[in-house]
């Protein structure tokens, strides 16, 4: 077997990929599917940091638009990421992966506090580090948390697993003529407001030269193929 193209990654998953057929909640079959996509990467001895969003449960920004205090809404969103993280941890361990859940918000009965050195140590011991609670601060998305942790943990790439197979110039669901990009620069993402990730995340990756790969996590085997060097999805870099 050829060597992986990356030895240390940060995988950011959208919370929506866990949702049931009604578009919300945690579907155990979806969680198990995700675990099965990560397992071959784990078996290839790639060091994995993993962050999952909370869009299947709660969105602080939408709650704010509905009248809830923004800070309150963001904290509820952080708690929802912890729920997703623990569900994914359970599925990963059932398929044979050793994991540790770390949270930026203290919930010590179910997850360790996020401490950078501790997270790195777990990764060095071959454990998947599942990071929950966002950055621990309101006004920052899980995209920003993923970019921050990718930098802190020395990740070679930030992989964003979504429901689409890359970045398009417009919504491919609503526009049949939407054009998919194979490669993009950080500057073009910002200039064209492509909304791949929020601007804080894009800027952080740009300043520290961490490439971003956007791909369809619902396509079986794509995550492993990317790790092994396949040019799948949209690559964002300098």
CB 161 within 8 A of CB 215: yes
> Interhelix angle for 116-124 vs 142-152, to 10°?
70
Taken in order of first residue, the domains within the chain and their CATH numbers are 8-237 (3.40.1160.10)
- The alpha-carbon radius of gyration of the chain (Å, integer) is 17
CB 138 within 8 A of CB 60: yes
Could you give the C-alpha distances from 33 to 9, 27, 219, 227, in angstroms and in order?
A: 19, 10, 10, 18
Question: For residue 217, what pLDDT is reported?
Answer: 96
Question: For residue 60, what pLDDT is reported?
Answer: 67
The token pair that represents 103 in the structure block: 């949270």
Question: For residue 1, what pLDDT is reported?
Answer: 58
The pLDDT averaged over each successive group of 10 residues in the chain (238 residues) is 92 94 92 98 98 88 81 93 97 98 96 98 98 96 97 98 93 89 96 91 96 97 97 96
Report the DSSP pairing between strands 167-168 and 180-181.
Answer: antiparallel
List, as one string, the DSSP characters of 147-196.
HHHHHHTT-SEEEEEESSSSEESS-TTT-TTPPEESEEEHHHHHHTT--S
For the whole model, what pTM was predicted?
0.94
Q: What CA–CA distance (Å, rounded) separates 223 from 50?
A: 13
CB 159 within 8 A of CB 226: yes
Task: Give SS3 for 4.
Answer: coil
CA dihedral 196→197→202→208, nearest 10 degrees, is -110
């Amino acid at each position: 077997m050829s060597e992986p193209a990356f030895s240390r990654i940060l995988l950011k998953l959208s919370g929506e990929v866990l949702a049931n057929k009604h578009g919300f909640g945690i579907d155990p079959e979806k969680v198990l599917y995700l675990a099965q996509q990560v397992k071959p990467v784990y078996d290839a001895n790639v060091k994995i940091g993993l962050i999952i969003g909370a869009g299947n449960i709660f969105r602080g920004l939408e709650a704010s638009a509905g009248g809830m205090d923004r800070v309150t809404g963001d904290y509820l969103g952080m708690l929802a990421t912890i729920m997703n993280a623990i569900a994914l941890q359970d599925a990963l361990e059932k398929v044979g992966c050793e994991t540790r859940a770390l949270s930026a918000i203290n919930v010590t009965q179910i997850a360790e506090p996020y401490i950078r050195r501790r997270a790195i140590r777990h990764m060095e011991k071959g454990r998947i580090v599942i990071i929950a609670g966002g950055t621990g601060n309101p006004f920052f998305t899980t995209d920003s948390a993923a970019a921050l942790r990718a930098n802190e943990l020395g990740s070679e790439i930030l992989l964003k697993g979504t429901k689409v197979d890359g970045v398009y110039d417009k919504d491919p669901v609503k526009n049949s003529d939407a054009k998919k990009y194979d490669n993009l620069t950080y500057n073009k993402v910002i200039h064209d407001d492509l909304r791949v990730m929020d601007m804080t995340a894009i800027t952080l990756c740009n300043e520290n030269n961490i490439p971003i790969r956007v791909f369809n996590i619902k396509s079986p085997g794509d995550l492993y193929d990317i790790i092994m060097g396949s040019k799948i999805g949209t690559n964002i870099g300098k």
